[in-house]
Amino acid sequence: MEATKKSIRIRRIYLVLAAAVAVLAGLQFFTAPLASRPVTGHITTAPKEVMAILERSCYDCHSNEQQLSWFDHLAPASWLVKKDIDKAREVLNFSEWDKVSPAAHTGNMYAILNMLQAGKMPLPPYALLHPGAKVSAAEIDIIKKYTLSLTSKSKEATTASEHPAVAGSIPEKFPVSPNGVKYTNAFMQWTVISMSTLFDNSIRVIYGNDIAAKAVREENFHPWPDGSVVVKAVWKQELSPEGEIRPGEFINAQFMEKNAQQYKSTEGWGFAKFSGPSLEPTGKTPMFAEQSCISCHRQLAESTGYLFDVPLKINPDSIIAKIR
């Protein structure tokens, strides 16, 4: 009596196991293979030690030259792997570096350095399953030294020249970004939230409308209220006769407009960039912001609601009374 009960139980366990294996095996038929794409160009200017780190820790996702483990190929894990690779190659692809200008190379190296310093790359779940891909503090230093060397000897700000005549070259109608964000010159009347500079010898001013300025003062970042609009105006640096740096030629105006419903795939922010005297919008399709804006803001500025240039929390509150 006891023996038959036991054998029935064992048979059940086998049945469940067999079913699980069958389901898993079946799943494999639903695995779309990773699109194979040709290698068109690698980084050619970085030292060997830098390349060794990138190849070992990043190429599985950010390249056309994956060397995946057997378990990465098993569904359903393989679906996640494929999704990550598709996304990763869209934003940064070490096998298609021929498409990357020298200025973009520098920008990408800074993005890489910042991702490593923040512990965001390689993606933590991947690093857990592939311990060999972890990047050590000493390796981050190697990347840092190389990255900083790219800008240490870069050109100085140009000395003041006559401002190029830009008046009158504005298009009749203000441009619209492919994702629907409209350019407006109203920002020139808004509150200045902060000012910044970047390694690329530019100087920036970040404006916010009333909703955004209020959100900063109240630290209402999670989430920022709908209707917040932040505009960053970017100029080239120019050397003044006093030996100071002043904003020179206008480069672009970048927008972030909060609408949780409309911009779901980019954390509720509508990104846009309008460049040059004609305010040429960046992007060919509404997808451009997913491909070229949100990853960096999402990974590195999450703690302030995906904005980098919020004023630092370092001034005593008594200062506000003093300066009025």
Partner 1 sequence: MKYLFCLLLTGITILTSCTGKRPQDEHVRVVFDAGKLKFIASSLHPGQETISALYGNEAAYRLLSAGDKQATGAEIKLVTWRFHDNPQYTGSRINGALLRVETVHTVTPDSITYHLEGNPLPDKATAATRIQYILGYKPVQFPGQQIFSHH
Which residues lie near ligand HEC (CB under 6 A)?
Answer: 57-58, 60-62, 84, 87-88, 91-92, 111-112, 115-116, 121-123, 126, 135, 196, 198, 204, 206, 230, 232, 254-256, 271-273, 282, 292-299, 307-309
Question: Interface with partner 1 includes 184 (CB under 8 A)?
Answer: no
Instruction: Write out the binding residues for partner 1, residues 214-273 only, by CB under 8 A.
Output: 216-217, 219, 233, 235, 237, 240, 242-250, 253
**Cα 111 from Cα 105, distance rounded (Å):** 10
Question: Interface with partner 1 includes 194 (CB under 8 A)?
Answer: yes
Angle between helices 48-57 and 137-152 (to 10 degrees): 130
- Smaller CB separation from ligand HEC, 78 or 295: 295
**Cα 115 from Cα 121, distance rounded (Å):** 6
The length of the chain in residues reads 324
Partner that binds at residue 229, options ligand HEC, partner 1, none, CB closer than 5 to 8 Å by kind = none
**Cα 247 from Cα 73, distance rounded (Å):** 52
Partner that binds at residue 96, options partner 1, ligand HEC, none, CB closer than 5 to 8 Å by kind = none
AA letter at 308: F
Question: Interface with partner 1 includes 323 (CB under 8 A)?
Answer: yes
**Cα 252 from Cα 249, distance rounded (Å):** 10
Residue from 92, 279, 293, 294 binding partner 1 (CB under 8 A): 279
**Cα 89 from Cα 58, distance rounded (Å):** 11
Residue from 1, 32, 137, 167 binding partner 1 (CB under 8 A): 167
Question: Interface with partner 1 includes 322 (CB under 8 A)?
Answer: yes
Burial per residue of 165-180, b for 16 or more beta-carbon CB atoms within 10 angstroms, e otherwise: eeeeeeeeeebebebe
SS3 of residue 158 by DSSP? strand
Instruction: Write out the binding residues for partner 1, residues 20-49 only, by CB under 8 A.
Output: none
> How many chain residues are in contact with partner 1, going by CB under 8 A?
71
Asked whether the CA dihedral 176, 184, 289, 212 is positive or negative, the reply is negative
- Smaller CB separation from partner 1, 135 or 193: 193
- Smaller CB separation from ligand HEC, 5 or 222: 222
Residues 193 and 212: beta-carbon distance below 8 Å: yes
Residues 207 and 187: beta-carbon distance below 8 Å: yes
Kindly state the smallest distance separating residue 248's Cβ from partner 1, in Å.
Answer: 8
- Smaller CB separation from ligand HEC, 27 or 68: 68
Query: In angstroms, how far is CA 157 from the centroid of its own chain?
Result: 27
Partner that binds at residue 78, options partner 1, ligand HEC, none, CB closer than 5 to 8 Å by kind = none
Instruction: Write out the binding residues for partner 1, residues 91-130 only, by CB under 8 A.
Output: 110, 113-114, 117
**Cα 174 from Cα 274, distance rounded (Å):** 10
Residue from 138, 168, 264, 284 binding partner 1 (CB under 8 A): 168
